[in-house]
Amino acid sequence: MQTAKRIPVRDPRTGTTEFELQALDATEVASLCARLRKNQRAWEALGLKGRIEVMQRWGQAVARHAQAIVAADAQDTGYNQVSQISAQMLLGTIRGTCAGAPAQYDAALRSGASLLPNVRYESVLKAFPVVGVISPWNAPTMLSMLHAIPPLVAGCAVVVKPSEVTPRFVTPLLASIAEVPELAAVFDFAQGDGETGAAVVENVDLISFTGSVPNGRKVAQACARRLIPCELELGGKDPLVVTATANIDHAVSAAVRGALTSTGQVCFSIERVYVERSIHDEFVQALVARCQQIQVNHPQPLQGHMGPFIFERQARIVDGHLDDALAKGAKLVAGGKSFSLDGGLYMQPTILTQVTHDMQIMKDETFGPVIPVMAFDTADEAVELANDTEFGLSAAVIAGTEAEALAIARRINAGNVSVQDAFLTFAAAPAESDSFGASGLGGKRSGIQRYLKRQALLISSAAPTCLTQAALAAR
């Protein structure tokens, strides 16, 4: 008899193993997905109005469990800033998706005339039976539910494979789901590591993956082999461009929030800053002064501004980027490498100047509280530097006027560009925006539309024409 695989779960604040997670094996994942697939038919048959009513009842259950959801997400992430609003964001996603779904569904329906005068067509929308969501560790509740709720409203069953690094949030979420039997029949979690995730890919009809570029490539290859669609939201190396006409205080505020929220462990964090040369030194001086006011949230988790690294390995990656930059001539003007406090791994806001694009800190995703600042001389140079990346998730531009900022923003290759601020992707990312390059794969239609397959019904109003008559008519 095969022994169940157990995965140690680390406490990011103490560095100790808090408990062990029992991973589902491939057979168990297949059984779970088969159950969801069977129940999905009744879920889709409820119709959009019926599913929205169920999802709204779940929203009420989430509100009742909100405190427990926040507490679990906070334990998962070491009390980072996003965890404190995780339940609010979940409720906002439920309400927003339900509110927008009817118009999106109607917009996806099409009918009209065909190339033949006696034939018209109508559309039927059919949900993908089972959608698999593979979510990351940096914002576990938000990023798993952000991609689970739209397919549920569309009529799909959903299985979520959360990160084994941050699994605590699943328990209170399942408690809220259990209060809504119709939803519990088609919504479940498959806990485990990469092997469990691979099994999910083998048993679903569409994959939504959020995570690293290397793992995204593996998922894309597996989906291609099965000929199923996949949506990949991968890394970012988001630039902030600050022109000489910008308000320096505003630009510093945007840079600090964009780079340091949740210890920089956000895919659309600002990871490189380009400042016009005439204000470069003044900007750096103001940035250092602002960052010196920021404290880690130790020993009290709800005091201070930045939590620990969630994932121990991420601290090593960030330290490696710093070592590489300093070895190649970068100047450290604030902060430094990660350090341990009672077993948790923390880092002060770290600022580098004299950086170049042959350094990892300017090319690879850092995912930590580091702000490298580089001078530029012209708008053309700023655009060239911002676009010198394999990523294209989001970006930001701050200038003296909106018109000046927009002129630069339109030339940057990124799915979202914040204008006169940074990090606005958090507030209102258009569902239709696409990632560029290594930041993602799969064009996005609005909301629930991406989880609906369109079937065309071709309706003839004339008697069928035989092959011989058709050939004669063609002469």
* Helical packing angle, 66-77 and 140-154, nearest 10°: 130
Q: Which residue in the list 231, 233, 365, 404 is annotated as catalytic? A: 233
Residue with tokens 């694009």: 357
Q: Which residue in the list 156, 267, 271, 291 is annotated as catalytic? A: 267
Per-residue tokens: 358: 């042959």
**What is the C-alpha separation between 40 and 375, in angstroms, rounded?**
55
Other C-beta atoms lying within 10 Å of the C-beta of residue 164: 18
Q: Is 233 a catalytic residue?
A: yes
Instruction: Please name the residues in contact with 442: beta carbons below 8 A apart, sequence gap of 6 or more.
Output: 229, 230, 231, 232
- Strands 238-242, 270-276: pairing is parallel
Residue with tokens 């509110």: 99
Q: Are 421 and 412 in contact (CB under 8 A)?
A: no
Helix intervals (H) in 12-125: 26-45, 47-64, 66-77, 86-108
**What is the C-alpha separation between 401 and 64, in angstroms, rounded?**
45
**What is the C-alpha separation between 142 and 148, in angstroms, rounded?**
10
**Identity of the residue numbered 131:** V
Q: Is 267 a catalytic residue?
A: yes
Distances (CA, A) of 220 to 176, 292, 444: 32, 42, 16
Distances (CA, A) of 239 to 213, 258, 441, 466: 18, 10, 20, 63
Provide the annotated active-site residues. 233, 267
